[in-house]
Amino acid sequence: MLQEKKALDIRVFQLKNLTTIADYFVICTAESIPQSRAIAEAVALRIKERFPLQHKEGFPQNNWLLMDYGDFILHIFQPETREFYALEKIWGDAPNTLIREAGEAEEGGAVKKVAAPKRREPVRRTAPRRKKTGA
């Protein structure tokens, strides 16, 4: 779902053995505040029944949105803010996976296939073409 909203540099950190904050951090980059909101809304709608939102920060106008779902925390950054806070360096000891394109992930430099969300093809409805009449 992050990829559907064009999130960039999606990385999942497994923190189970390092901290009690959460089991996972999911970090991604959005190129604008509206895109950050779109990503946050898509995540909230998609997983609200399985993972209730426990806490959020950074809304409505911020360069870093944090959504805490208990077992995992989603961080949505603007590029400059992600670089400044450098969570990848802070949690660099944690096993992590870079989500590449739909259906691919990279762990330790090796690309592997992962289950991608099923997408439905959009229904295209077009009106029948009208015949041109000579005038």
**Higher model confidence: residue 116 or residue 129?**
129
Q: Which residues contact 30 (CB under 8 A, 6 or more apart)?
A: 5, 7, 8, 36, 38, 39, 76, 77, 78
- Among 3.30.460.10, 3.40.50.300, 3.40.30.10, 3.30.1490.20, name the CATH number for the domain at 8-113: 3.30.460.10
Percentage of the chain beyond pLDDT 90 is: 59
pTM of the model: 0.73
Domain boundaries, the chain: 8-113
- Spatial distance between the Cα atoms of 72 and 62, rounded to a whole number of angstroms: 21
- For the cut 90, the answer to whether the pLDDT of residue 105 exceeds it is no
Kindly report, residue by residue over 2-61, the tens digit of the pLDDT: 988 899 999 999 999 899 999 999 999 999 999 999 999 999 999 988 999 999 998 667
